[in-house]
Structure formats: structure tokens, C-alpha cells
Structure 1
């Protein structure tokens, strides 16, 4: 038995994917720490901007390619057909991203990169490698080859960090080298996942074929959903920082609290890739009873994990902010508890989104995120204490997303599944 097969049998897909995700996260923190310690302040700030932009564009845009590819294969379409059509649709989406980046580059490069055009090239490269790795993950997820999926995560993390360490040790590091190497790291994840794609699974002869146009439209709708999800998840601390421009200590403490309470959401991230193929298969069979049973089971697990997270945030959050984040302003435990409750709502949305995608309810997914983002944005600018307003806005926006998804799921489960 090979080592990967032994690991899959002993650990199981959730543990493997969690380990891979941990490596990606650790590589990100390590990359920022390395650049911060070896580069001048201006270069380090520009590298941090590149890191944030790549990690917004990847999950915020190209997760849609992953989810639609996974759903299409899980519904019975031949993997080779899905690969060809998803590649074309993903390339079109990448082209749109590059055009938009070129359009904003006269402002983006001076403001975010300090005039360093090499980092803009790294951003375009990072967008391309992100598109490729999310496509590979969609194909692997749809075929339930989660060992290969986990390998894309682990090798992406190693591929991002290790070359930068070598440059730091063996040569004089520079922002261009760091940026280009980090952006190329996702390509290592692609190469790691390709062996697991050999020998594609046959499709279901009875499954309806979907045109390239239909797949591209579905990906575009899901891309809108994932971009809005990024907005709901990350806008509040940005607005708080802007409104508290003269109270940077409180703004920094709130941003740290935001990161702290999101730890369960980060650890829960692989659930969509694991859940989507299973739910799609049940929906394709028309076994909605099994669909409901699986959905209730995972939602119950979220409720348990979320309750623990809220309690820990309430009791230990202020201490953790002071000890681990060096917060200079003490935030009350009640505030962290409410923020953690918003995180629980986002975890529920992470479960409901693949459920809606499996049911063919792509537009309902996007509309739910749109509802939450409109409410969040509007509330963030209400008069009053910016931190209290942000907590209210975050919780309200997240709950509205869940409410929209619940209504859509209940409606879909009463009728035939969309294709």
C-alpha cells in the first residue's frame, strides 16, 4: 500500500483536507513573516497587499469554477466533458479578471504596490494559477478523490513558502522575487493534483448533458455569490478602521477580534468540497430524504461547534486578544460572543451553499449573499459607535444570508431538482 493510500485509510478525507488547509494557512503567515523580516518596510507593505489580493481573487472568484465542476461530475456528466467545458469557462473568467486588473492598474500599482509593476505581473500570474488549481480541485472533488484534493492544498502551501525561504537564504531577497514565487506556488498544487486525475470516472449515460453556455452561466452566477461572500466576511473591519482613523488602537483590536472569532470558519472551510459531491449525488438520484438527512447531520455538527466557539469567545476572547494579539484596547467578552455568533451564521451558510448548488439553485445562492451584503453595507454607515455598529451589521448581514438560503432550500426540496 502506498503512503498516500495508507494515509487516506488511516486519517480519512476530512483530516487530510484539514491538514492540507493548515499547511496553506501556515505558509501564508510564514510568507508574510519572512517578507516582513527581510524586506524594507515599503516592500513588505507592497508584498502584504499582493498576498491579500491573490487570496481575495482566488477564493472570491475561482471557487465558482471548482463548485460547478464538482457538481457537474457528481450529477453524472463525464469527467472529460466537464474538464473541457470548465477549462474554457474558467479561461473566460480569468480573461475578465485580467481585463479588470489592467483597467484598475494605473491606480492599483501606485497605491497598493508602491509603483512596483513586477508585483502587478505577480498578481496576474497568481490569478492564472488560482484559476488552474481551483479547476483541478473541482474535478477531484466531483470524483471524490479527496487525497488528491488535499495534496493540492499541501503542495500549494509548500510551493509558496519554500522557494521564498531559499531565496532569502541563498540570495539577496527582493519584493519582485518574493511576489512572483508566491504567485507561482498554486501551480505546484496543480501539478500535485494531476496524478489523481488519471483514469477519469465514466459519466451516467442517463444524465442530461449541459452546454458550455449553461456551464459558463452557472459559473458566472456562482462567482457573483463567492465575491459577495468575501464582502460579507471581510468588509466590517475595513470600515471600522476607516471610521476610527484617529483611534488606531481600537481599530486594531477590533480587527484582531475579527480574525480570532473566524478561526472556526477557517478550519471548517473544506466542508463545501466534501459535502457538494455527496449532496449532488443524492439530488441526482432524487433521494431527497437522504439529502435532508445528510444536511441535518452536518447542520447539527455546526450548531455544536458554533456553540462551543461562542462560549469560548465570550469567556476567553478578551484574554486571547491581549496575550496573542497584543491588543492595547480591551474589548468586552459580550462583543466577541456576538461576533462569534455571526461566524456561526457564516458556517451555516458554508453548508447551505453547496446544498443549494447541488439542487441547482445557483441564483438563490447569489441572491442570498446579495441580501446580506446590502444589509451589512447599509448598517455599517449608521451613526453611533463604529465597533458596536459593525457587530450589529455583521450579525444581521450573516443571518439574512442564512435566512435567504433556508427559504430557497425549503422551496427546492418540495419540488423537482433543477439541472
Structure 2
């Protein structure tokens, strides 16, 4: 069967640089420095929002805030599949040389797909809310549902813009979008703290950053150019791949952002103070690694697309970094973690050193799963990408059902579950790399 015809690449990238035959401009050190700064700002901002919420609201109201934070993270995390596939499709489209097949296909416009997905998800939240809102949200239910619907619609557009900017190598605009999103959330949280607003105000802060894409698009011609770029494939193929990526991203979001919801679902009765402290500890041990990693996902996928024929070699450095972080981070978490929790958040937040060390290793295992997933996506192994994330999530949920103490089952769930998915990703990459290998001397 003949290969699908590939359309010509764009002549100029959103950064104003000619793409030539190689496609989009290569990731530069200066661009990565900008992304690094944006990542640091996002990480610090996220910590400050959590700190303000924990200190201002207290343990009981913080639990309410944490569940909404997790619910928004769950639905918006699913949309990250749109961002990831947009990054891959735009990058690959810019890299492909013009073809002389004479066959034209209608190349997908990611922003159109993003708009459809955003509206569809917002409507789904509103229509299905009577089925789950009472169970998930204990207070401020109407406000929570409305904010969730508006937030997911805005985040879908923002994810599309992030993906287009990453794929095109427009790191200045990507960094500006990341910083603005984080700062808007922090400003609203600070206003809540100063004005003495309670849970409702912090719920608004959770979704405040989704308007950042409107500001960046209005202020930046290059961002508007990025939104005009097309994918490397037709509309039908792009939409199918987006849905596959979103299916995997849903599992990712459930495991990463939606963990408090999963913990609540697998725990009989109301969550105790011990559970609240562990939820906070999970968030704090993950944030230093996963916030930067999530921010760099677009850059990582864009980089791995160019190395998709040798993915295992490309993974050596990020996997080595994760291993080092796991060892050093676990030691630090065990040594000073309990003290830091008491000093920063109060005596009610108590978690043992062994649990904090295990949660830190668990964060690195999710980082490993994220990196191997990016490699699978870059290699166009969409099914393996989704399968790995879903296998990891299912394994983690099953481990949470073990009849052992809360701290042990949470630790086992977050350490062992992601390893299952990473093994699936690596197996797919090995198979794919063999398919790319040249034939031996005997053909």
C-alpha cells in the first residue's frame, strides 16, 4: 500500500527563521534558558499557591480546595494530550520537505480541533455534573462546576497554543505563556489571602491562569502565526491521534493530578487528617520534579522527534538525571522533610521520613513514565503510549486497594505503578528501533 502523501512544509517559522529543508528551527540554548526560567517561575508560583491555601484555609478547608485542584488537574491533564500531539504534528510538519507527489491533502489546523475539544468538554462537565458533583465537591458545588467548565474550555485553547509554540520552536512566546499562566494564578491567590477570602476565592485562583493564552495571542504576532500552522497529517489522522494521546493523558492526569480523587475513591469513609497530610506531602515531593518536567514536555517531544530512530540513546541522559534525583531527593526528604512540613504548614501535617523518601522516589518514577511516554509519542507509538499510562494507572489503583496501612499502600502505588507503564513504553521503543535498523548482510 502506498504511503500517505506528505504536504509541503511552511517556509518560515513563527520565530521568523527560515526552516529550510530541515524544517523548524533547532532548539537553541537561549531558547532552553528561557524555558528554564519560565519553569522556575511556574514551580515557585505553584508552591506559593499551595502554601497560601494550606496556611489560610487550614486542614479541613484545604482538603476541599485540594479535591477541586485535583479535579481540574484531572480534566486539564487529559487535554495535555492535545498539546503533546500538536507539538509533534507541528514539529514534524515543519521538518518535512516538500513532496512531488502531486497529491494534496487537507492538513489539520490544531486550533480548530482544540476549540472543538474545549467546547465539548465544557458541555460534558455541565451535563454530567448532577451525576458526580455531590460526591466530589462537598461545598461550593455550583461554583466548582461552573469554574471547571470554563476552565477546561480555556485550557484547551491554551494547550493548543503551547503545543504550536513548542513545535515551532517559539520559546520566547512559550515561556511568556507559561509565566503569565503561573503569575495570574498566584496573583489571585495572594488577593484571596489579603482579603481573607476562603475556599471560593482559591477555587477561582485554580483556573485563573487559563486566560493567559488570550493575552499572549493578542499581544504577540508570532503566537498568532503559530496558531495558523498546520499539522503534518490530514484532519482525520490528526484528530484520531489527538484522541489517542488524550486517552493516555487522561490516565496520566489521574495518576499525577487526580491522585487525591483516586485515594478518596479507594478509601472507605471520609479522608482523615493522615490522608490530608499525605496528599500535601505527595504534592510537595512531586512539584520540584514534575512541574519543570511538564513544562519541558513540549521541548522534550520536539527534541525526541528528531532522534526517533535512536530513542533509547536519546533517553540515557534524562533517565540518568531522574536516577540521580531519586537518590539525592529521597535522602533529603527523609532527613529534613518532616521538619520542613511542621515549620511551613504547622504541626497538624505529620508524615514520617520513610514515607517522604518513598514519595520522592515515586515522583521520580512518574517522571520516568513521563519521559518514556514522550519518547513513545515522538516515535509515533501512540497506542503503546496510551497503553503504558493506562497500565500504570490501573496498577496504582489496584495497589491502593491492598489491605495495609495508608502510608504503605500510597507508597507502593506511586513507586511500583509507574514502573509497569515505563516497561511497556520501553518495550515499544525497542521494537520500533529494530524496525528502523538497517538489514544485515544477508538482507
Unaligned runs of 5+ in 1: 1-7
Residues 20-419 of structure 1 mapped to structure 2, 5 A cutoff: 20-22=41-43, 24-26=45-47, 28-29=49-50, 32=53, 36=57, 50-58=68-76, 60-77=77-94, 85-110=109-134, 112=137, 114=139, 117-162=142-187, 183=207, 185-193=209-217, 195=220, 196-197=222-223, 199=225, 209-233=232-256, 238=261, 243=267, 245=269, 248-263=272-287, 264-283=289-308, 288-289=309-310, 291-328=311-348, 331-416=351-436
State the Cα deviation string for residues 252-304 of structure 1 (Å, max 9, x = none). Answer: 33223322321322333323122111111333xxxx34x54432122222222
Instruction: Please state how far the C-alpha of 1:240 moved relative to its aligned partner.
Output: 5.3
Question: For the residues of structure 2 that align with 1:395 and 1:102, how far apart are their CA atoms?
Answer: 35
The answer to whether the Cα contact below 8 Å between 2:73 and 2:258 also exists between their aligned partners in 1 is no
Q: Which residue of 1 aligns with 2:24?
A: none
Task: Compare 184-193 and 394-403 and name the one that shifted more.
Answer: 184-193
The answer to whether the Cα contact below 8 Å between 1:69 and 1:83 also exists between their aligned partners in 2 is no
Whichever structure has more helix as a proportion of its residues is 1
Question: For the residues of structure 2 that align with 1:371 and 1:101, how far apart are their CA atoms?
Answer: 26
Instruction: Please state how far the C-alpha of 1:382 moved relative to its aligned partner.
Output: 1.9
Question: For the residues of structure 2 that align with 1:18 and 1:315, how far apart are their CA atoms?
Answer: 26
Question: For the residues of structure 2 that align with 1:191 and 1:82, how far apart are their CA atoms?
Answer: 30
Instruction: Please state how far the C-alpha of 1:228 moved relative to its aligned partner.
Output: 0.6
Change beyond 3 A, Cα 1:409–1:213: same
- Calculate the TM-score normalised by the size of structure 1: 0.80
Question: For the residues of structure 1 that align with 2:375 and 2:65, how far apart are their CA atoms?
Answer: 37
Question: For the residues of structure 1 that align with 2:185 and 2:281, how far apart are their CA atoms?
Answer: 27
The answer to whether the Cα contact below 8 Å between 2:71 and 2:258 also exists between their aligned partners in 1 is no
Question: For the residues of structure 1 that align with 2:57 and 2:377, how far apart are their CA atoms?
Answer: 40
* RMSD, matched Cα: 3.8
Question: Number of paired residues?
Answer: 395
Change beyond 3 A, Cα 1:311–1:50: closer
Residue aligned with 2:93, SS: coil
Q: Which residue of 2 aligns with 1:3?
A: none
The answer to whether the Cα contact below 8 Å between 2:113 and 2:239 also exists between their aligned partners in 1 is yes
Change beyond 3 A, Cα 1:190–1:348: farther
Instruction: Please state how far the C-alpha of 1:135 moved relative to its aligned partner.
Output: 0.6
Residue aligned with 1:383, SS: coil
The answer to whether the Cα contact below 8 Å between 1:244 and 1:386 also exists between their aligned partners in 2 is no
Task: Compare 388-397 and 292-301 and name the one that shifted more.
Answer: 292-301
1:17 matched to 2:34? The reply is no
The answer to whether the Cα contact below 8 Å between 1:262 and 1:343 also exists between their aligned partners in 2 is yes
